[in-house]
Each structure stands twice: as structure tokens, then as C-alpha cells.
């Protein structure tokens, strides 16, 4: 879905101008049909990041209640998501909130009830679900037959969030969302097994494996923030394997079946993937849906289910 260039731009507000918030600012600036009209940030230097016509508020409450704002993007620490999202819903705004939706199920369910009661559009920005490689993977699923297993691995050296997001929630939201999206149902069981857990640079560091089971199909994910950068996922089917590797030159490849659901080796057959950046796709689709809502399952529902799984693993 695209925004007609001739229409009035969709008027967006952004809460938070940290590292990811600055990505939003750049993305919106390059997006035809959308305009950043308000920014909430306590950093005076944030004024230099936005167009002159964008109002900068020190208090996010002024931003979410501003009458010119049609939709709010929440790019703040997850512990603040519930309060800001609920206020935006109460103000009659559509909301795009960063993953994870919240850090506990009670807050996530409160957002769900508020959105349903107000008829509000609330999306959760699970970046990998907006990745063009993910769209291509789902389109290619029929070529490998029924799903037999899902394997994924993600990590880097850091981040180590001081008093912020637990490592499991920081990294796990993506992979859990992908497994739920692929299987289209809630799991029968979930578990987490830590092989290392401690503190580094004032934040949590560790290595954990999540196992999320859907009947006989097992989605197993290793998450580690003390390893070289990695983000890959393999879907094993009866007739082959689809490998989504976000740090490889070929983002999506197809391979022959692999015994024991091991990682496929060799280059594989590259599949066509569109060039659009995941965040650009997320904001473009969200802004378009503000005026013309997309049919189909709600990303809020998926975001809530992710929180349910992560809380169970915790």
C-alpha cells in the first residue's frame, strides 16, 4: 500500500529521538505523502534533527494531544510504551509502537482493550516482519512443502541496556514474532534455557535458547549479545529449506532438505527480494493505513501474543 503523492501528507508525531528515533526522522523525511509535524524529546539538540515547521515538545503529552497530529510513533524505552500508547489512543490517534509492545502481559492486554474499545488502529513495529526478505520467504513457503521445523539465531556484541530492556525481550521479540507469524497460531509450550547469564557494562549479557512448540513443529531460537553479529532464520520443509540471513549479501536463499534440521551449507539458490528498507516499509504502510486501514489480522494482536510468549519464557 502506498500513499498517493497528491494527497495531503499524513501528519505524524514521534515520541523519542534516540538512536532508533533518529532513524524514524530520516525515514519520514524521505517518505512522500507523510510529514513529521511534532517531536517529543527532552534533548535540546533534537531541534536540529527535524524540519523547521516541526514542533518540538519537551513533554510527550503535548505531542499526543496536539490536534494537528493524526498518528503517533512511539520510539521510547519499552517500560514507557503502555502509558504513552494508552494516552495516544485516548486522544484519538493511530499508533505505531516499537517492539516489544510492553514488558508485561497486563500492560499489553490493557492496550488491547483500549484499542478495541476506541476502535483505534495500533500497530507494533516488529522490524523483521516488514523486511522484504520476510515477505519473499512467506511467498516461497509453498515451494518447500509443509513446515517441519524453524531454527533461528540472533545476536551481536551488545547492546547492554542499563536498567532497561532484559536481553531476552530485546532480542527475542523479533524471532518469536516470526515464529508466530509463520505458524499462524499460538504455541502449545514455550521454554528458555540459559547457557550463560551475567552483567556487562552495567546491562544484562547472556546466551539463551528459546523453544516454542506448535504441535510437532518446534521453533528453536538462540539469542546472544556476546557474539559476532548474526540474524538468520531457517524454515525447514519436506522439500527444502528457506534461509533468511539478514547480514548476508543474498538475504533469502533456498536449499535442499538438511538432515536433523541443521543449518544449510553452501550458497543456495538466491530468491528475489525487493530493495526497500524494513523501517521505510513499516512507516509507509502505517501512514497509508491511517487514511485507508489495511484488512487482515492486526499487528497489535501479534504484538500482544509475542509479549505472552516472552513472559512465559521469563
Is 295 a residue whose pLDDT tops 90? no
Per-residue pLDDT at 164 exceeds 80: no
What is the rounded CA–CA span in Å between residue 265 and residue 259?
12
Q: Helix, strand or coil for residue 247?
A: coil
pLDDT tens figures, 77-108: 999 999 999 999 999 999 999 999 999 999 99
Measuring CA to CA, how many Å separate 159 from each of 201, 224, 245? 9, 10, 20
Rounded percentage of the chain residues whose pLDDT exceeds 90: 92
Q: pLDDT at position 185, please?
A: 94
Please say whether the structural domain 141-270 has been given the CATH code 3.30.360.10. yes
Domain ranges of the chain: 10-126+279-313, 141-270
Helix intervals (H) in the chain: 19-29, 60-65, 81-90, 105-118, 132-139, 167-183, 278-291, 299-313
Displacement of CA 127 from its chain's centroid (Å): 4
Rounded to an integer, what distance in angstroms lies between the CA atom of residue 65 and that of residue 169?
30
pLDDT of the residue at 314 = 84
Prior bond of 100 cis (ω within 30°): yes
**Binning pLDDT at 50, 70 and 90, where does residue 3 land?**
low
Q: Is the pLDDT of residue 6 over 50?
A: no
d(CA 196, CA 303): 27
List, for residues 30-79, the tens digit of each pLDDT value: 999 999 999 999 999 999 999 999 999 999 999 999 999 999 999 999 99
As a whole number, mean pLDDT of residues 13-18 equals: 97
- Taking the CA atoms of the chain, what radius of gyration do you get in angstroms? 20
Taking only the tens place, the pLDDT of each residue in 281-291 is 999 999 999 99
Residues with Cβ within 8 Å of 188's Cβ and at least 6 positions away in sequence, in order, are 213, 214, 215
Q: Which tens digits make up the pLDDT trace of 99-134? A: 999 999 999 999 999 999 999 999 999 999 999 999
Average pLDDT, the chain: 95
* Band (138; pLDDT cuts 50, 70, 90): very high
Pick the CATH number of 10-126+279-313 from 3.40.1190.20, 3.40.50.720, 3.40.50.300, 3.30.70.3340: 3.40.50.720
Q: For the residues 152-174, what does the mean pLDDT come to?
A: 91
Amino acid at each position: 500500500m502506498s500513499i498517493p503523492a497528491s494527497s495531503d501528507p499524513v501528519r505524524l508525531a514521534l515520541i523519542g529521538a534516540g538512536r532508533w528515533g533518529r532513524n524514524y526522522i530520516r525515514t519520514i523525511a524521505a517518505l512522500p505523502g507523510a510529514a513529521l509535524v511534532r517531536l517529543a524529546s527532552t534533548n535540546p539538540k533534537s531541534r536540529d534533527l527535524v524540519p523547521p515547521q516541526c514542533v518540538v515538545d519537551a513533554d510527550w503529552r503535548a505531542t499526543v494531544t496536539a490536534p494537528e497530529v493524526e498518528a503517533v510513533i512511539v520510539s521510547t524505552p519499552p517500560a514507557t510504551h503502555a502509558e504513552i500508547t494508552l494516552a495516544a489512543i485516548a486522544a484519538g490517534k493511530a499508533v505505531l509502537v516499537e517492539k516489544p509492545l510492553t514488558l508485561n502481559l497486563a500492560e499489553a492486554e490493557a492496550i488491547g482493550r483500549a484499542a478495541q474499545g476506541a476502535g483505534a488502529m495500533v500497530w507494533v513495529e516488529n522490524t523483521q516482519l516488514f523486511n522484504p526478505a520476510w515477505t519473499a520467504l512467506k511467498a516461497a513457503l509453498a515451494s518447500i512443502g509443509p513446515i517441519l521445523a524453524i531454527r533461528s539465531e540472533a545476536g551481536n556484541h551488545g547492546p547492554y541496556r542499563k536498567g532497561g530492556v532484559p536481553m531476552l525481550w530485546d532480542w527475542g521479540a523479533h524471532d518469536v514474532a516470526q515464529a508466530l507469524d509463520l505458524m499462524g497460531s499460538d504455541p502449545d509450550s514455550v521454554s528458555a534455557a540459559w547457557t550463560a547469564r551475567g552483567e556487562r557494562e552495567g546491562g544484562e549479557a547472556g546466551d539463551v535458547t528459546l523453544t516454542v512448540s506448535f504441535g510437532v513443529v518446534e521453533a528453536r531460537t538462540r539469542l546472544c549479545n556476546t557474539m559476532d553479529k548474526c540474524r538468520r532464520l531457517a524454515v525447514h520443509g519436506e522439500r527444502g529449506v528457506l534461509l533468511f540471513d539478514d547480514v548476508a549479501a543474498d538475504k533469502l536463499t533456498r536449499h535442499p532438505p538438511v538432515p536433523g534440521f541443521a543449518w544449510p551449507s553452501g550458497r543456495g539458490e538466491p530468491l528475489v527480494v525487493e530493495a526497500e528498507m524494513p523501517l521505510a516499509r513499516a512507516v509507509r504502510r502505517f501512514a497509508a493505513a491511517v487514511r485507508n486501514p489495511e484488512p487482515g489480522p492486526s499487528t497489535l494482536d501479534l504484538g500482544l501474543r509475542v509479549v505472552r510468549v516472552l513472559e512465559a519464557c521469563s
